[in-house]
Amino acid sequence: MYKILRKCFSRQDRIKEKLINEFKPKHLEVINESYKHSVPKDAETHFKLVIVSNEFKNKSTVEIHRKIYSMFLDEMGEKKDNKLHALSIHTKTEDDWTPVQDSPDCAFKKH
């Protein structure tokens, strides 16, 4: 069944699903940054994770990162094989997180 799900959902969707189930985040961003690397156009090999959850309270950064990496061991591998190759992990508790404001429009933008 897992192999069937793999074909139905993108890696980005699977990552989101696993993180939501594990950490019940207040805020979650799963950003595909593969386009910044030398991989095929539709690759899903490099992701930035922004996770805000109180599940991180009283845990070290190392503990949190180990837990997150362990959740994706079955997807990890060489980027040439279109496997998950890199995670950029940014975690905060709800008390430590400040939402990022949108950038203002350019002053020279034509309306």
Is-above-0.85 flag for pTM?
A: no
Residues 1-13: what's their mean pLDDT?
66
For residue 7, the model assigns a pLDDT of 56
For residue 79, the model assigns a pLDDT of 63
What is the per-residue pLDDT across 52-87, written as a single tens digit (0 to 9) for each?
A: 999 999 999 999 999 999 999 988 876 667 688 889
How much is the CA Rg of the chain, to the nearest whole Å? Answer: 16
What is the per-residue pLDDT across 88-108, written as a single tens digit (0 to 9) for each?
A: 999 999 999 987 666 666 665
Q: Supply 41's token pair.
A: 């156009």
Mean pLDDT of the chain: 84
C-alpha triplet 38, 39, 40: angle, nearest 5°: 135
